Structures are given as C-alpha cells and as structure tokens.
Copies of this chain bind each other. A is one copy, B any other.
Amino acid sequence: MFDPSGSLAGALVRRLSLFSRLSVEERREIELAATARTRRIAARERIAAQGDRPRYVSIVLEGWACGYKYGREGNRQILGLYLPGEHCDSSIYILDRLDHSLEAITDVTMGEIAPADFRCLMERSTTIAEALWWEELVSSAIKREWIYSLTQRNAIERIAHLICELYLRLSSIGAATDHRMPFPLTQIDIAATTGLSPVHVNRTMQELRRLQLICLGGRELRMLDPAGLADLAAFEPDYLHLSERWTREQQQMTLHSGARPGESGALKRS
C-alpha cells in the first residue's frame, strides 16, 4: 500500500483513502490543507474548552485525543476518542460554540484547517467532499454504537468492545497490526469512556486478563485471543463502514485469525 509517510498528514490521507480512491493531487491538497497550520499539545493538556468559539476544523495528525464533559459530582464522561487521521467532532466551524471540551491523551499534533480552506477543499473535488462526509457519518455511527454499548453491554463486554473498536480503527490506518496496539488509556480513562467506575474497570480488566483475552504492559495492549474478545463483546465491525478497501474477508481476518489460546494451561482458577 502506498504510504505517504514522512508527511504529518499520513494518517489522515490513509483514513480518507479507506472510503474513496484519492488521486495524487487530491492527496497533496489534503496534506497541504491539513498541515498548513499545526499545533502540538502535550499529553493531558486541554486542547479546547466548552464554550469556545471554534475557529478551525481540528484534525488529529498524531497521537490520541478525546472530547469530554464533566458531570455533577466531578467525574467526567468521555464523549469521543480521536485517533490519528480523525477529526474532533464539532470543532467544525459551522457550530457557534463548542458544547464539550477537548483534551490530549498522549502528546498530540493537531492540524487546524481554516473554514475558507475547508470549504475550498470540499468544492475543489467531489471525491474529497464525499470522503469528509463519510468521516462525519462514521463518527456518528460510532456514537450510536457507544449508546448501544452503554445500555446493552455489561462491564466486561463494554471494555472488550472498546478494545476491538480501537484496534480496528488503528489498524485501518496502519497504526496497529498483529493484534497489538499502542494503548495510552489509563483505567480512569477507560472508566470515563465506558461509564463505569475506575474500581470496577480495574476488577474487569483483571477478569479479561484471567480469561487470557488480553495482555497489557508498557503502554501496549496485546489481544491474546482476538476472536474470543470479539465474541464476548458481540463485536460487529459493520458500523465502522470500512468496507470499501477493507472487504468483509479482511475484516474477518483481522479479528478472527489469531490462534485461539486453546486449552493450554495457566488458567486454573475458579
């Protein structure tokens, strides 16, 4: 696969290419627009605050970010995770003010596209315009799935589902392979994402390890039994709408190819 690496906008181009076949010029235009103005934010720093008037379309070029809002008792809810190549929703200029805040999870490089440039990008090429629509629609679909998760999946299923989703989103842009992925989320972050208490997330992660489904260490997560995880979570990747390049077979492979750990010892506890 052609890799426009070296460029900061690599992830973005790769992501938009998932949906549409971009020409060389289109790729270049996207790169230009997205890297004309960049901003680096250190891990755990706020990127924008609720109530701000967004002046740019914000796109994550490198690192992980999130959108969140605080609840009454001071615990926050993460409303979206933004991985490389994804836009931070609602930082879109059309809306008057941000209805939630944005924070960097890792060190992050953002691309900030001015409204005029964004409009220009959309008007120049129908292909690009549709790719941007696709991004927006997929981000909507992810939110629907989160709503579904919050009401239909219990703690362990929710976390397993989140892991499957993140793995697919990362691997689709080449940021994860072999059922291993960078994993900068703390248990507190996971709690804020899944709507669980940190304590319960802790116990649930222990359970996932005990079941030999995952292995976590040094900011990296390994899916020991991808198929088992996907089964547990009832993970159906259709909502990510990756199918243009990522055909159904590939998706299946991605999660269902890892060797099941089988009955090979080391799990002798109730």
Q: How does the 8 Å CB contact mask read for A25-69 relative to B, with 1 for contact and 0 for none?
A: 000000000000000000000000000000000000000000101
Within residues 132 to 162 of chain A, which ones have a CB less than 8 A from any CB in chain B? 133-134, 136-141, 143-148, 150-152
Cβ contact within 8 Å between A144 and B67: yes
Asked whether A119 is an interface residue with its Cβ less than 8 Å from the other chain, the reply is yes
Asked whether A107 is an interface residue with its Cβ less than 8 Å from the other chain, the reply is no
- The smallest C-beta distance from A85 to any residue of chain B, in angstroms, reads 18
A126 cross-chain contacts in B, Cβ below 8 A: 119
Cβ contact within 8 Å between A133 and B71: no
Instruction: Tell whether A151 pairs with B195 under 8 Å between CB atoms, given A94-B133, A137-B90.
Output: yes
- Which of A179-187, A236-244, A260-268 has 4 or more CB atoms under 8 Å from chain B? A236-244
A239 cross-chain contacts in B, Cβ below 8 A: 99
Instruction: Tell whether A152 pairs with B71 under 8 Å between CB atoms, given A126-B119, A141-B95.
Output: yes
Cβ contact within 8 Å between B77 and A151: yes
- The smallest C-beta distance from A50 to any residue of chain B, in angstroms, reads 8
Determine the interface band of chain A, counting residues with CB < 8 A from chain B.
35 or more
Closest to A151 in B: B195
A104 cross-chain contacts in B, Cβ below 8 A: none
- The smallest C-beta distance from A251 to any residue of chain B, in angstroms, reads 12
Report the separation of the CA atoms of residues A243 and B94 in the bound assembly, to the nearest whole angstrom.
Answer: 12
A contact residues vs B (CB 8 Å cutoff): 19, 67, 69, 71-72, 75, 77, 79-80, 89-90, 92, 94-97, 99-100, 119, 122, 126, 129-130, 133-134, 136-141, 143-148, 150-152, 195, 234, 238-239, 241, 243-244
Pull 29 A–B residue pairs with CB atoms less than 8 Å apart, ordered by A: A19-B94, A67-B144, A69-B144, A69-B152, A71-B148, A71-B151, A71-B152, A72-B152, A75-B152, A77-B147, A77-B148, A79-B144, A79-B148, A89-B137, A89-B140, A89-B144, A92-B137, A95-B134, A95-B137, A95-B138, A96-B241, A96-B243, A100-B144, A136-B136, A139-B140, A140-B143, A143-B143, A150-B150, A150-B195
